[in-house]
C-alpha cells in the first residue's frame, strides 16, 4: 500500500521545471483555499478575541477583549455537563455505530450473489443520496409525537399507552439523531470497506480456511489488518463529519436551543452567533471545536502520512 514518490521526470533539463511545476499546479487551488477558507478561518480566530456584534460588522471597527470569550466559555458549567458530553459522546457513538454497521453491511454484501448485491447496494445508495436536511425532516416526521408513524405503530401493538414525545429527553433525542446520522453515514463506510474487502487476496483467505480458521477469525486476523488503512480513513472522516453535526440536531424539535440539554458545540456556536449577535463568542466556540478536531486529526496524520513517507 505504500507509495514511493517520484522526483522529477528523469531528465536533466527538467530539474527546474520540476521545481516550479508543482507550484504552478497548486496555484489555482491554493488561491481559492487561501481566499475563501484560510483567510476567513483567520478571521474567525480574530473575531473570537473580540466582543464582536452586529455593530462591529457594520462599522468594521475592532473591539478587542482578549481571551474573555474563551474564559466565559470554559467557565460555563453547561459546557462540561451538557455541551461537551453531547458533542464528544455522540461523535464516539456515531463513529463507532457507523463504522461497525457499515463494516457489517460490507461483509454481508461481499457474501451475496451478484443480483442481491446489486439490489442491496442500490438501496444503500438511495440512503446515501438523501440529503441531510431532507433526511432529518423525514425522521422528525416519522417520530412525531401525535401524528408520527412510530408512535402509531407502538400504540397499535399495545407497547405504548399514550403518545410519547421522543424529542424532549436527551437520550431519546440523540438516539434519533444517531439513527439519522448512521442511516446517512454508513453507506460511505460500507462502500469503501466493501471495495477494500474485495481487494484482499483470495489466496490468503483460502489458506486460512484450509487451516480451519472460522469466519470470525478470518475476519479479524486477516481482513482487518489488510484493511487497516481503509479503516483509518473511514474512521477519521466519520469523526470529522460527526463532530460537526449541525442540521441533524438544529432542525429537530427543541434542537435549535430551546431544549438546553441537547445542545452541542456546533449548535451552541450558531445560536450564540446569530441569535445573540455575539459573533465573537460564537467564533470562540467554533475555534474550540476546530481545535478538538485538530487533535484528533493529528493522530490520523501520524498514522497515515508517517506510513507513506516510510
- Residue nearer to other proteins on the CB measure, 23 or 157: 23
- Residue nearer to other proteins on the CB measure, 84 or 256: 256
In the three-class reduction of DSSP (H, G, I as helix; E, B as strand; rest coil), residue 266 is classed as: helix
- Residue nearer to other proteins on the CB measure, 80 or 111: 111
What does the longest C-alpha to C-alpha distance in the chain come to? 82
244 exposed, middle or buried (CB, 10 Å; 0-12, 13-18, 19+)? middle
* Nearest Cα residue to 128 out of 74, 178, 76, 190: 190
Question: Smallest distance from the beta carbon of 200 to other proteins, in angstroms?
Answer: 6
- Residue nearer to other proteins on the CB measure, 26 or 74: 26
* Nearest Cα residue to 133 out of 180, 94, 200: 180
Task: Provide the 8-state DSSP code for 64.
Answer: B
Q: Are 214 and 222 spatial neighbours (Cβ–Cβ below 8 Å)?
A: no
Question: Smallest distance from the beta carbon of 22 to other proteins, in angstroms?
Answer: 4
CA distance 92 to 83: 14
- Residue nearer to other proteins on the CB measure, 93 or 169: 169
Question: Smallest distance from the beta carbon of 100 to other proteins, in angstroms?
Answer: 14
Report the C-alpha dihedral over residues 148, 154, 158, 162, rounded to 10 degrees: -50
Question: Smallest distance from the beta carbon of 35 to other proteins, in angstroms?
Answer: 7
Question: Smallest distance from the beta carbon of 87 to other proteins, in angstroms?
Answer: 11
Report the C-alpha dihedral over residues 237, 239, 243, 247, rounded to 10 degrees: 50
- Residue nearer to other proteins on the CB measure, 93 or 164: 164
- Residue nearer to other proteins on the CB measure, 93 or 228: 228
* Nearest Cα residue to 169 out of 77, 250, 249, 262: 262
For residue 35, CA distances in Å to 64, 135, 151 come to 24, 32, 49
Question: Smallest distance from the beta carbon of 149 to other proteins, in angstroms?
Answer: 5
CA distance 217 to 204: 13
Residue 50: what are its φ and ψ, rounded to 5°? -130, 160
Question: Smallest distance from the beta carbon of 24 to other proteins, in angstroms?
Answer: 8
- Residue nearer to other proteins on the CB measure, 70 or 128: 128
Question: Smallest distance from the beta carbon of 296 to other proteins, in angstroms?
Answer: 9
C-alpha 157 chain-centroid distance: 36
Amino acid at each position: 500500500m505504500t507509495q514511493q514518490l517520484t522526483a522529477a521526470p528523469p531528465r536533466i533539463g527538467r530539474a527546474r521545471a520540476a521545481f516550479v511545476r508543482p507550484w504552478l499546479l497548486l496555484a489555482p487551488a491554493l488561491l481559492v483555499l487561501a481566499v475563501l477558507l484560510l483567510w476567513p478561518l483567520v478571521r474567525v480566530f480574530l473575531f473570537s478575541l473580540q466582543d464582536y456584534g452586529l455593530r462591529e460588522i457594520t462599522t468594521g471597527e475592532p473591539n478587542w477583549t482578549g481571551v474573555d470569550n474563551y474564559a466565559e466559555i470554559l467557565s460555563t458549567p453547561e459546557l462540561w455537563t451538557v455541551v461537551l458530553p453531547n458533542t464528544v459522546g455522540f461523535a464516539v457513538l456515531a463513529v463507532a455505530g457507523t463504522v461497525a454497521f457499515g463494516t457489517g453491511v460490507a461483509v454481508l454484501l461481499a457474501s451475496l450473489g451478484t443480483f442481491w448485491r446489486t439490489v442491496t447496494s442500490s438501496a444503500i445508495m438511495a440512503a446515501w443520496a438523501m440529503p441531510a436536511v431532507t433526511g432529518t425532516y423525514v425522521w422528525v416526521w416519522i417520530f412525531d409525537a401525535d401524528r408520527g408513524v412510530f408512535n402509531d405503530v407502538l400504540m397499535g401493538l399495545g407497547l405504548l399507552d399514550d403518545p410519547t414525545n421522543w424529542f424532549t429527553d436527551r437520550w431519546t433525542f440523540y438516539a434519533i439523531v444517531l439513527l439519522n446520522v448512521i442511516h446517512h453515514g454508513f453507506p460511505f463506510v460500507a462502500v469503501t470497506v466493501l471495495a477494500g474487502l474485495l481487494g484482499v487476496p483470495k489466496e490468503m483467505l483460502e489458506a486460512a480456511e484450509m487451516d480451519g480458521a472460522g469466519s470470525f477469525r478470518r475476519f479479524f486476523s486477516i481482513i482487518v489488518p489488510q484493511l487497516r488503512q481503509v479503516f483509518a480513513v473511514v474512521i477519521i472522516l466519520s469523526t470529522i463529519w460527526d463532530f460537526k453535526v449541525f442540521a441533524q440536531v438544529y432542525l429537530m424539535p427543541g434542537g435549535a436551543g430551546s431544549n438546553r440539554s441537547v445542545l452541542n458545540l456546533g449548535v451552541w456556536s450558531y445560536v450564540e452567533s446569530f441569535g445573540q449577535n455575539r459573533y465573537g463568542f460564537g467564533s470562540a466556540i467554533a475555534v474550540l471545536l476546530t481545535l478538538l478536531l485538530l487533535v484528533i486529526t493529528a493522530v490520523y496524520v501520524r498514522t497515515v502520512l508517517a506510513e507513506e513517507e516510510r
